[in-house]
């Protein structure tokens, strides 16, 4: 069966950055399983895997626009300490959930803590990066009606 919308796909992958450094891998663990066409994985990878079958191996390069987006300077801002009331200690690297202007949940990471404010970054950590995947398709099957209705694998 070929990978197409409404298929459940399991892949093993190794993700590297432009410098060849491994960012993430399923090697030695469970494969990543997703519902094709449901937006469960980044668009560039999903598009490149369409039409593959069990046993296929593929190298995929995903540009930022089809991955985690371009890096946006406007998503970095310094907020007054009062914006974090009720939180005793704030350290670099802490993550918080904020609300985007559209009302969606947005995750931000603390980049700097200073007396005059706290700098946060709303960019995904892989925003602006070209991503290289080595992928092996482990299995492909039809999704159940329940999986299709819910938009994810059960």
Bridging pattern class, strands 117-121 and 76-79: antiparallel
Compute the radius of gyration of the chain from its Cα atoms.
19
In the numeric block, which tokens belong to residue 136? 């092996």
Q: Choose among 76, 108, 73, 105: nearest CA to 90.
A: 108
DSSP conformation letters of the chain: ----TTEEEEEEEEEE-TT--EEEE-TTSPPEEEETTTT-S-HHHHHHHTT--TT-EEEEEE-GGGTT----GGGEEEE-GGGGTT-S---TT-EEEEE-TTS-EEEEEEEEEETTEEEEE-S-TTTT--EEEEEEEEEEEEPPHHHHHHTS--
Residue 122, pLDDT score: 92
Q: Sketch out the chain's domains with CATH numbers.
A: 7-67+128-150 (3.10.50.40), 73-121 (2.40.10.330)
CA distance 126 to 136: 22
CA distance 9 to 3: 7
Residue 54, pLDDT score: 97
Q: Write out the chain's pLDDT in tens, 154 residues.
A: 999 999 999 999 999 998 999 999 999 999 999 999 999 999 999 999 999 999 999 999 999 999 999 999 999 999 998 888 888 899 999 999 887 777 788 889 999 999 889 999 999 999 999 999 999 999 999 999 999 999 999 8
Residue 61, pLDDT score: 97
In the numeric block, which tokens belong to residue 112? 């700097």
């Amino acid at each position: 069966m070929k990978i197409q919308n409404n298929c459940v796909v399991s892949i093993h992958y190794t993700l590297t950055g432009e410098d060849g450094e491994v960012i993430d891998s399923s090697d030695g663990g469970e494969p990543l399983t997703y519902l094709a066409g449901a937006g469960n994985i980044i668009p560039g990878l999903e598009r490149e895997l369409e039409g593959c079958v069990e046993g296929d191996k593929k190298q995929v390069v995903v540009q930022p626009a089809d991955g985690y987006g371009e890096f946006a300077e406007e998503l970095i801002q310094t907020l007054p300490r009062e914006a974090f009331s009720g939180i005793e200690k704030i350290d670099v690297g802490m993550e918080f959930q904020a609300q985007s202007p559209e009302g969606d949940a947005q995750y931000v990471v603390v980049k700097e803590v200073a007396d005059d404010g706290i700098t946060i970054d709303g960019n995904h950590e892989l925003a602006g990066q070209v991503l290289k995947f080595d992928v092996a398709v482990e299995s492909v099957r039809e999704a159940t009606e329940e999986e299709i209705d819910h938009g994810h694998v059960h």
